[in-house]
Amino acid sequence: MSAKRVLASAPAKIILFGEHSVVYGKPAIAAAIDLRTYVRAEFNDTGAIKIEAHDIRTPGLIVSFTEDSIYFESDYGKAAEVLGYVREAIELVKEEADVNGRGITVSITSQIPVGAGLGSSAAVAVATIGAVSRLLGLELSNEEVGKLGHKVELLVQGASSGIDPTVSAIGGFIHYKGGKFGHLPFMELPIVVGYTGSSGSTKELVAMVRRNYEEMPEIFEPILNSMGRLVDKAKDVITSDLDRELKFQTLGKLMNINHGLLDALGVSTKKLSELVYAARTAGALGAKITGAGGGGCMYALAPGKQSEVATAITIAGGTPMVTRISREGLRIEEVEV
């Protein structure tokens, strides 16, 4: 049954191990975290799709002032591009249901920094698909929403492994490889996320790695293979019966190796590496980029040292975020019928 108004939310994620190599079919491990994007969907009488994106800065904004007036113009191409994930998400759901000529208004508010490696693109796609599909009376499982979210990322970015929309839709702690995924045993992870304050575009970074790979496959192939192997090792450690401290020590070492390999791929920046080294010096067992890189965030594994690591990240010029793993993925918050 269709509804009058629906509010849905979907979480951000961190990639614990295996970003970029996951695009080449290698395994990766990710966890949903407790920052969310909220999407409200309702019908309107205009017949149009209306998107209110409250947290997106409008690129290409031109403002003309006179003494008694103010006139705004926008570079519509750039503005349309930035809303690509939301538009494609709505279009995909509309293909599955009968809208009967009705318009849909989608209003977005988000706690997730954009272009920061925390999966804001996947969260906005998943929450939009969740809200609009429920509005139109479609009964989609969270896994199905994750699959549609992957389609959205493929349409907008040209390439996507699908790990981000999957973990945002189903929540928790997951192992992912070539579209197949499963939950790993839930673990509280004493992590600190450090935000550089700058952003990177996943579309551009994934394309850059692809160009480098095509130019020098004999160099890039072994790096990607090593990333895959270290994820296998991390999975063995996580699912083993070792005690927590020993698990964290090995996972920390693997994070540091993964960061070095991501640097070799060319996706780190001076600021990201400064935050990574600051965290390690303050006692983190491991620290690495999370997500596409080129700016954005790193995360550190710091049992018993979270506040020291957060302080070190601040001193190094970053913004620390102490966050927890979210067991819940896509959530339908309210339905008005």
Ligand X SMILES: Nc1ncnc2c1ncn2[C@@H]1O[C@H](COP(=O)(O)OP(=O)(O)O)[C@@H](O)[C@H]1O
Ligand Y SMILES: C[C@@](O)(CCOP(=O)(O)O)CC(=O)O
Query: Which residues are identified as catalytic?
Result: 164
Three-point CA angle 319, 325, 329, nearest 5°: 115
Tell me if 303 is assigned to a ligand binding site: no
DSSP of 26-89, one letter per residue? --EEEEEEEEEEEEEEEEESSSSEEEEETTPPPTTEEEEE-SS-EEEEE-HHHHHHHTHHHHHH
262 binds ligand Y (CB under 6 A): no
Report how far apart, in Å, the C-alpha atoms of 46 and of each of 40, 101, 104, 222 are: 17, 9, 9, 55
291 contacts ligand Y (rule: CB under 6 A): yes
Q: Is 114 marked as a binding-site residue?
A: yes
Name every residue whose Cβ is closer than 8 Å to that of residue 273 and which is 6 or more positions away in sequence: 263
Nearer to ligand Y, 110 or 161 (CB): 161
Among 8, 108, 148, 254, which residue sits at the site for ligand X (rule: CB under 6 A)? 108
Does 165 bind ligand X (CB under 6 A)? Our answer is no
Taking Cα atoms as reference points, which of 37, 187, 57 lies closest to residue 123?
37
Q: Which stretch binds ligand X (CB under 6 A): 23-31, 90-98, 112-120, 223-231?
A: 112-120
Q: How many CB atoms lie within 10 A of CB 51?
A: 17
Output 115 or 252, the one with its CB closest to ligand X: 115
Residue that has been written with the tokens 């961190």 in this structure = 14
User: Of 133 and 202, which has the nearer Cβ to Mg ion?
Assistant: 202
Binding to ligand Y by residue 20, rule CB under 6 A? yes
Yes or no: say if 38 and 108 are a contact pair by the CB < 8 Å rule: yes
Asked if residue 121 binds Mg ion (CB under 5 A), the reply is: yes
Site string for ligand X, 36-55 (x = CB under 6 A): -x---------------x-x
Name residues contacting ligand Y, limited to 193-212 (CB under 6 A): 202, 206
Known binding residue 304? Answer is no
What's the CA gap between 29 and 39, in Å, rounded? 26
* Pair 265, 220: CB distance under 8 Å: yes
56 binds, among ligand Y, ligand X, Mg ion, none (CB under 5 to 8 A by kind): ligand X
Query: Left if phi > 0, otherwise alpha if psi is -120 to 50, otherwise beta: which for 134?
Result: alpha
Among the listed residues 2, 43, 79, 82, the single contact to ligand X using CB under 6 A: 82
Which residue, judged by CB position, is nearest to ligand Y in the bound state? 291
Q: Which of 11, 113, 117, 172 binds ligand Y (CB under 6 A)?
A: 117
Say which entry of ligand X, ligand Y, Mg ion, none residue 53 contacts (CB below 5 to 8 A, set by partner kind).
ligand X
In contact, 204 and 121? CB cutoff 8 Å? no
Task: Give the interface size with ligand Y as a residue count (CB under 6 A).
Answer: 17
- Sign of the dihedral through C-alpha 220, 253, 298, 22: positive
- Per the annotation, does 146 bind a ligand? no
Residues in the chain, overall count: 337
Establish if 154 lies at the interface with ligand X (CB under 6 A). no
Q: Is 42 an interacting residue with respect to ligand Y (CB under 6 A)? A: no
Residues within the interface to ligand X (CB under 6 A) = 37, 53, 55-56, 82, 84-86, 108, 110, 114-121, 124, 201-202, 291-292
Residues within the interface to ligand Y (CB under 6 A) = 15, 19-20, 22-23, 117-119, 121, 160-161, 163-164, 202, 206, 291-292
Binding-site residues for ATP, please?
Answer: 113-123
